[in-house]
Amino acid sequence: MSKTLYDKLWDAHAVIQRNDGTHLLYIDRHLIHEVTSPQAFEGLKLANRKPWRISANIATPDHNVPTTNREDGLDGISDEVAKLQVTTLDDNCKEHGITQFDILDKRQGIVHVVGPEQGVTLPGMTIVCGDSHTSTHGALATLAMGIGTSEVEHVLATQCLVASKLKNMKVSIDGELSKGVSPKDVTLAVIEKIGTAGGTGYAIEYCGEVIRNMSIEGRMTVCNMAIEAGARAGLVAFDKKTLEYVQNRPYSPKGNDLQLAIAQWHELMSDEDAIFEETIHIDGSSLKPKVSWGTSPEMVIDIDGTIPEASSESLSHALKYMNLKPGMKPSDIKLDQIFIGSCTNSRIEDLRIAAQVVKGKKVSDRIKRAIVVPGSGLVSAAAVEEGLDQVFVEAGFEWRAPGCSMCLAMNPDQLGEGEHCASTSNRNFEGRQGYGGRTHLVSPATAAAAAISGNFVDVRELVE
C-alpha cells in the first residue's frame, strides 16, 4: 500500500497499538528548554522514576535568557524568577547527565535552531519538544511535534508518546517565487488560505516546485509555522539539499553509518499515489510579500493590500487592539520597533538577506529600536565572521546575544504599550511581544526594509 511521508515515519516508530486504538510512538530525540521542563522533572522525581534513555535528550535555555551582558552568564539574568528557571534546567541536566548547551556555551541558542545545526535533528527521526514550534524540524524529513509538559514527563520516563495518527494534508506550492518574496511569505500565505484551525488534526507535507527549490533554512521557516495553521507537524521530503545540510555536523552519522543512513533516507518521501485526506494548491508565482495586520496569524494581507472591514467580532476586536482602521494599507502603519530573530527567522540565511537590505543605509529616525537576535551562538559567530554584525550595527541596529528574545518577550526584550513592531517572529497574539504591544509578522527582508524606511515598503521594489 502506498504511503505518505508521514505514514512512513509513523509506521517506523509505532511500538504498539493499545486496546483503545492509541499508539505508543517511539521518540528518537527529545529537546528540552527551561520553561516547559521543570514540572516534568519534578513529576519524575515525585514518582521515583528515571529518564528512559539519557542520550535521547539535548537541552539548552532559550526563552528566558537575556540578549545583553551574556558574558555574565547566570549573573546577567536580573529577573530572579527567570534565573531560578534557568538554574533549575542546569540542575536537572546535571542530576540526570543530560547534555546541555548552557547559557555560556557557544552552541547555546533557540532549541529549534540548535537541533538541526548540531545534527541532533536527522532525517527519519521522531523529535519532540515542549514547544509548539518543534514542527520546524520537519523540514529535514522528520516527524517533529510540540508537546505539553505532561507529555515531556511521559517521554522522559518511557521514550514514547501516546499518540493517535494524524490525517495527511498536502500543501503544494508551485511556480516560482518573485524576487523579494521569501519562505516567510509562503508560510503566511498558507495560513491566510487555510486559517489557523485549517490544519487541526493534520500533518502538513509541503511540496511543489517552490519547496523543492527552497533552501533547507527556508523549509524550516515554512514548517515552523505549520502550527500557526493548526497542524502539529509540518514535513518536507528528503532530497539532495537535505543530505548536503545534515552531513558533517557534530551529531550526524559518519562513515559506514552515513552510508546506511543515506540508503534509508532516500525512502523519506511520499509515494506517488499516496492518499492525502486534503490537498491545497498555492500558485507561488503570484505570491507577494505579506504583512499580518491583526492578532491572529491568519489576519494577513499582501504588502499592497488593504486592511479588511470589521465583518466579525474577532476582526473588530483585532482592529481595536491594533488601533487600525479598515481600508488602511500596511504603509500607513506607524512602526516603533523592528525585531529580526526567533525560531522562524534567525538563521544565517535570514540574517544575510536582512543585511543585504540594510547595507550602507541607516535605520529611520522614526524607529525607536531595531534589534537583531541570532538564533544560536554559532549563527552569531558565522554572522560576525561574514561581517554581518557590523552591517547591522553601522545601520543603527542593536546586535544581541542568541535566544527567543522578543518573539515571546519572556526576557527583558519587550514592546511598550501601544507600540507597533515589524517582527520576523511567528505569533501576533495580543500582548505576545509585550503588554499592549502590536505585532506585524513579516519576512526578514520586509522587516529590514521597514527599519530603513520607517514604515512598511514593498521589498520587491528594492531588489533587482
Partner 1 sequence: MKNNYNFHIGRITPLSRDNVDTDQIIPKQFLKSIKKSGFGPNLFDAWRYEDEGYPGQDVSERSINKDFILNQEKFLGADVLLSKDNFGCGSSREHAVWSLMDYGFKVVIAQSFADIFYNNCFKNGLLPIQLSKEIITKLFDIAEQKKEIEIDLLNQVIVCEGNELCRFEIDPFRKECILEGLDEIGLSLKFSEDIKNFEIKRSLDAPWVFNERNEG
| Contact flag: residue 104 with partner 1 (CB under 8 A) | no
At its nearest, how many Å lie between partner 1 and the CB of residue 253? 3
Q: Which of 70, 347, 427, 440 binds partner 1 (CB under 8 A)?
A: 427
Contact by Cβ (8 Å): 333, 440: yes
- Residue found by looking up cell 486534503 in the block: 278
Q: Which is nearer to partner 1, 113 or 449 (CB)?
A: 113
Residue 294 contacts by C-beta under 8 Å, 6 or more apart in sequence?
315, 318, 319, 322, 428
347 vs 432, beta carbon nearer partner 1: 432
Which amino acid is present at 183?
Answer: P
Please tell me whether residue 114 binds partner 1 under the rule CB under 8 A.
no
CB of 163 to partner 1, least distance (A): 9
State which residue, 296 or 455, has the beta carbon closest to partner 1.
296
3-state secondary structure at position 155 = helix
- Residue 49 interacting with partner 1 (CB under 8 A): yes
Toward partner 1, which CB reaches closer, 253 or 454? Answer: 253
Task: Cell numbers for 418, please give them.
Answer: 501601544
> Is residue 125 close enough to count as binding partner 1 by CB under 8 A?
yes
Is residue 64 within the footprint of partner 1 (CB under 8 A)? Answer: yes
Nearest distance, CB of residue 388 and partner 1, angstroms: 27
Binding test (CB under 8 A) with partner 1, winner from 408, 421, 445, 459: 408
Residue 260, judged by CB atoms within 10 A of its CB (0-12, 13-18, 19+), counts as exposed
**Nearer to partner 1 (CB atom), residue 64 or residue 136:** 64
| Contacts (CB under 8 A) with partner 1, residues 82-101 | 82, 84-85, 88, 99
Q: Does 210 bind partner 1 (CB under 8 A)?
A: no
105 binds partner 1 (CB under 8 A): no
Q: What long-range pairs does 89-92 form, CB within 8 A, spacing at least 24?
A: 89/32, 89/33, 89/34, 89/37, 89/38, 89/59, 89/61, 92/37, 92/38, 92/41
> What string marks each residue from 190 to 209 as x (binds partner 1 by CB under 8 A) or -?
------xx--xx--------
Nearer to partner 1, 147 or 451 (CB): 147
Q: Which three cell numbers stand for residue 322?
A: 491594533
Contact yes or no for 309/337 (Cβ under 8 A): no
- Should residue 149 be labelled a site residue for partner 1 when binding is judged by CB under 8 A? yes
**CA distances for 361 relative to 84, 396, 453, 462, angstroms:** 41, 9, 10, 12
Nearer to partner 1, 210 or 223 (CB): 223
* Cβ pair 426, 221 in contact under 8 A: no
11 part of the interface to partner 1, by CB under 8 A: no
C-alpha–C-alpha distance, residues 294 and 316, integer Å: 10
Per DSSP, the residues of 38-74 read HHHHHHHHHTT---S-GGGEEE---SS--SS-GGGGG
Q: 175, 308, 412, 431: which one contacts partner 1 (CB under 8 A)?
A: 431
- Quick check: 213 binds partner 1 (CB under 8 A)? no
322 to 381, contacts with partner 1 by CB under 8 A? Answer: none
Query: Which H or E element spans position 161?
Result: strand 160-163
